[in-house]
Amino acid sequence: MEIMAAGVDIGSTTAKSSVIFNDEIHFGPILSTGANPTEAGERAFKETLSKLNMKNIDRKYVIATGYGRVKAPFADETVTEISCHGRGAHHISPSVHTVIDIGGQDSKAIALGENGRVIDFAINDKCASGTGRFLEFASKLVLEIPLEDLGKLSMNSNNPAKISSTCTVFALTEIVSLLAEGTRKEDIIAGLHNAISQRVATMGKKVGIRPEILLTGGVSKNIGLRSSLSRELGIPVHIPEKIDPQLVGALGAAIIAKSRIVKEEN
C-alpha cells in the first residue's frame, strides 16, 4: 500500500510544504505568502507533488499549519504550528528540548518532552518588535540595507547600540535618532539583535530553557541574531543542518499526517 502524508505550513510571510511518500521526505519551494495565503499554500503543495512520480496512492492525508491554516480547503485537518514545530524539531534531533521559532509575525518558545510532545509554550503575537518583520522594517525603511546582510554586518560591531523601546514604531524612531547622532550602522544592527534576543529570552525563560535548543524560522538564518541569542541565554542555539530552518513546521505537519494514517490503519 502506497501512502502519501503531507504538511503545508502557511506562515504570515512564506508558504512551505513537505510530503512523505514511500517513507521518504520531500520538500517543495519556499514561496512568498503575499496577499493570498490560500493560493500560496496550495501552490507550495502542488509544486512539491509535481516533483514526485506518485501513482496508485492508496491513502493520503494532508495537514495544514501556520498563520493561514484555517484557509486551506485542500487540507484534511489543521494543527497548530506549536505542535508541528515540536514534532519537526524532534525528528531532526531527538535531543532537542527547546524550540525557538522567530517568524515574520510572531515568535515562540516551545518546551518539549518525550517524542517531541509539547509540554509548555509561550508566544509573542501582540507586537512585531520580537519578529522578523521588525528587522525587515528596520532594514528597508530606515537602515537601507538588504535584510540578508544584517547578520554579517552586526558581527563587526564592538559597541552595540542600546534600543530601549519594545514598540516597533518607537524603536524605528530610536534608530533614526541614532543615525542622526552618527552611530555606526553595524552597532545599530547589533543593538536590534540584542533587543530581539532579550524579548525572546524573557519569553523562553517562562517555559524553562533546556538544551539542546533549536532555532527555526527565517530569522534563524541571521548569524548575528543567533550569536546574540546564544549570549543572552547562556546556551548555544542551533539551526537544522540538513533542511532549511523555515521547513521545520511543514515537516512536523507531514509527520503528524503520517501518524494519522497509521492510527486509522490500526
CA distance 233 to 11: 26
- pLDDT tens by residue, 21-58: 988 999 999 999 988 989 999 999 999 998 887 766 77
Query: Of 100-104, 160-164, 186-190, where does the model show the most confidence?
Result: 186-190
Residue 79 has pLDDT above 90, yes or no: yes
Q: Is the CB of residue 10 less than 8 Å from the CB of residue 66?
A: yes
Give the strand pairing for 213-216 and 98-102: parallel
Q: Return the C-alpha cell found at 262.
A: 497509521
Q: Is the CB of residue 86 less than 8 Å from the CB of residue 252?
A: yes
Give the dihedral sign, CA 167/173/176/182. Answer: negative
Map out the domains of the chain with their CATH numbers.
3-126+199-265 (3.30.420.40)
CA distance 185 to 239: 26
Average pLDDT in the 182-190 region? 97
Q: How many residues does the chain have?
A: 266
Mean pLDDT estimate for the chain? 91
What is the per-residue pLDDT for 56?
67
CA distance 248 to 91: 9
Residue 66 has pLDDT above 90, yes or no: yes
